[in-house]
Structure 1
Amino acid sequence: MRAVTIGQNEAGQRLDKFLNKYMKEAGVSFFYKMMRKKNIVLNGKKCTGKEILLIGDEVKLFLAEETLEKFGAPPADYSGQKKATGAETKEYLLAFEKLKNIRILYEDEDILALDKPAGVLSQKASVADFSANEWLIGYLLSQKKLTAEALATFHPSVCNRLDRNTSGLLLCGKSLLGTQKLTGLIRNRQIHKYYRLFLLGEVKEKQILTGYLLKDTKKNQVKILTKPAEGADEIKTGIEPLACLELPGIGTVTYAQAELFTGKTHQIRAHFAWAGHPLLGDPKYGNEAVNRTLKQTYVINRQLLHAWQIRQKDAASGILPIGGITCPLPEDFQKLLSTAGIQP
């Protein structure tokens, strides 16, 4: 018999979800069968798997050690949580060491906000990658805010994604509660997302763009449609011009703030290109000649898009701090503004 006491990062999830993490090789039907037979009980009572676990709950598994090990459970000397392998821990700590330009903007017991520089992935694209997600776990391990044992049933994670070459604010869940709340807010569109960007040409007035976005997964590219179509998602993007600049070699540029009402792949980049104002430096949807000048004259080689601020709609009852979280402008933004005589 095994007895597992539920800790902070196991609490808040359904029992069947926890069991699936604890015994990764077992099917869901096995868990339900064992619960019906009372071979798996919660706090000494029969359970269904739908129960939401609380801190201090006790899950007892009246199963043979051979059965537990067959289905991927930790060894018999299990003391509450399975320890991550040395290789896993080393990978996270290495990511924390290598990705030195990531900065912490806000942190509490449940969430953490990061300033992700351009060039860093939000999450892995391949096995060999280091991303902000690995950096997050490495940071928590290095600061003794997370143990290798806790990684058995919960991995802190990035909750919103940015393109590799988009800089700015990433929200991360440190605890299961924080992760659940952040993903719920994002899924239910309870967060205001604001971006700073440079657009080619002059945008004269504040406006909201609408349309339909169709993704080509093979090309990892999207196009904007004016009418509904099969597979296309409705999108809505706000734009507010902040300053009109004259950049030598490029011409008229608008420094602006965009609000993302719907979060789809490449939405901001494609939507403004469709509207006739592509982002400076955008390799997929931008102006090639302008991008060459931007690289040669200003030594900038990425789309100038920065996730600047996130605020919760109902700030008084939320997990984010009142007033939201703001991410300072990166150096390339400050360079262009200073070139045009504007104080960043």
Structure 2
Amino acid sequence: MNTTANHSRGGVRRVRVNAEGAGQRIDNFLLRELKGLPRSRVYKLLRKGEVRVNGGRIGPTYKLRAADEVRIPPVRLEAPNPSAPRVPAGLRERLLSGVLHEDERLLVLDKPPGIPVHGGSGQAWGLIEALRELRPELPFLELAHRLDRDTSGCLVLAKKRSALREVHEALREGRAEKKYLTLLKGRLPRGALPVEAPLDKRERRGGERTVTVSAAGKAARTVFRTVRRLGFATLVEAEIATGRTHQIRVHAAHAGHPVLGDDRYGDRDANRDVRRLGLKRIFLHAHSLHLRLAEGRELLVDAPLSADLRAVLDAAEKEGA
């Protein structure tokens, strides 16, 4: 599914989807085919029915299938602006030096905190946009899963459509072990503390996502294991058997030990107290990922605890907290 991007397209194009391109959403397909076109204009093309698949109208979440024919209308794109914001030099270095693993199919990055995985909401670019700019030689680069903006650690990206499907299958079929380090309020018991509680995801006005424990939600299981006790808090390893939105944060709060630094589900007084130790974000770090892939292949990567969170633990120990 190789096409040439021009700044101006004089007529309708019809693109046939091959097996490698099957499974991707039409909106993401269009964003790559029409490089530089704002996402809002892509959705407008879909709403107006100017983009068609096999002659019919489709919505932005439609997933392409092999042999689908996509009709792409003529679209005028603005010429690249040489003065447009580029990825800051400091972030460029952090991203390029943060590669934990790379092969011909996958790239695993130690995601820095404070950057969303996608641009939007007033931010011109996110991690995926930055990486596409930094690695222009890669014709395909997609997130295989997500981490919240202020969460650091292991993040998997696919360099081929087939690799993306393979990782999604491993996540869906329980062939993935994801472990996080997090600092919870209070003193947890030694050993393991399993939490099984269904989670229901809802969107508030403005697209803000909020998750609650509800019988109407989807099954979710988290196992918290004590690593170190710090008086008012406990450093734990959280292993998730499912990958629900905000799962660790909601399960920790449900167990009575909210994640420190969590402004949405956490404890306001505890967050205020831990800020004096230098905590400026949620204490949540994806430190280990183990994927069992097809044909017996395995991927095991670890990301050391980020420097800002290590400093919080050091400050807590110095104060005898």
Provide TM-score, normalisation by structure 2.
Answer: 0.72
Q: How big is the shift at 1:105?
A: 1.2
Contact 2:277 2:315 in 1 (8 A): no
State whether structure 2 residue 253 is matched by structure 1 residue 253: no
Is the 1:95–1:134 contact (alpha carbons within 8 Å) kept by the matching residues of 2?
Answer: no
The Cα shift of 1:263 comes to: 1.2
Does 2:175 correspond to 1:190?
Answer: yes
2:315 aligned with 1:339, yes or no?
A: yes
Amino acid in the other structure paired with 2:54: S
Q: 2:90 and 2:142 mapped to 1: Cα distance?
A: 18
Q: Structure 2: which 5+ residue stretches go unaligned?
A: 4-16, 35-44, 57-64
Change (3 A) 1:239 1:26: same
Q: Distance in 2 between matches of 1:223 and 1:111?
A: 33
Alignment deviations for residues 239-296 of structure 1 (CA, whole Å, 9 cap, x no partner): 11111113xxxxx21111001111111111011111110111111111111211222x
Shift of 1:316: 6.8
Q: 1:95 aligns with which of 87, 91, 99?
A: 87
Q: 1:199 aligns with which of 159, 184, 191?
A: 184
**Helix, strand or coil at the partner of 2:155:** strand
Q: How many aligned positions are there?
A: 272
Displacement of 1:16 in angstroms is: 11
Write the distance in 2 (CA, Å) between the matches of 1:211 and 1:14: 34
**Could you tell me which amino acid in structure 1 is paired with residue 124 of structure 2?**
D
Q: 1:173 pairs with 158, 171, 189, which one?
A: 158
CA distance in 2, matches of 1:271, 1:136: 32
The 3 A distance-change label for structure 1 pair 88 and 223 is: farther
What is aligned with 1:72?
A: 73
Aligned residue among 198, 211, 214 for 1:222: 211
2:296 to 317, 321, 336: 317
Distance 1:90 1:193 in 2: 41
- Residue 95 of structure 1 contacts residue 131 of structure 1 at CA under 8 Å; is this kept in 2? no
CA separation in 2, counterparts of 1:260 and 1:126? 29
Letter in 2 for 1:87: P
* Shift in CA distance, 15/301, structure 1 to aligned 2, threshold 3 Å: closer
Alignment of 1:37-48 (within 5 A): none
For residues 55 and 279 of structure 2, what CA distance do their matches in structure 1 show? Answer: 56
RMSD: 3.7
- Asked if structure 2 preserves the Cα contact closer than 8 Å seen for 1:213 and 1:235, the reply is yes
Q: Partner amino acid for 2:198?
A: Y
Name the CA distance, whole Å, in 1 between partners of 2:185 and 2:313: 14
With over 3 angstroms needed to count, the CA separation of the structure-2 counterparts of 1:165 and 1:128, relative to structure 1, is closer
One-letter code aligned to 2:161:
L
- Identical aligned residues as a percent: 26
What stretches of structure 1 of length at least 5 have no aligned partner? 32-48, 53-60, 62-67, 76-83, 247-251
**Alpha-carbon shift at residue 313 of structure 1 (Å):** 3.6
Q: Is the 8 A contact 2:170 2:293 kept in 1?
A: no
Maintained 8 Å contact 1:156/1:175: yes
Would you say the 8 A contact 2:167–2:293 is kept in 1?
Answer: no
TM-score where L is the length of structure 1? 0.68
- Residues 82-127 of structure 1: per-residue CA shift (max 9 Å, x gap): xx98639997x92374633332111111111111122110112336
- Structure 2 matches for 1:112-123, cutoff 5 A? 112-123=107-118
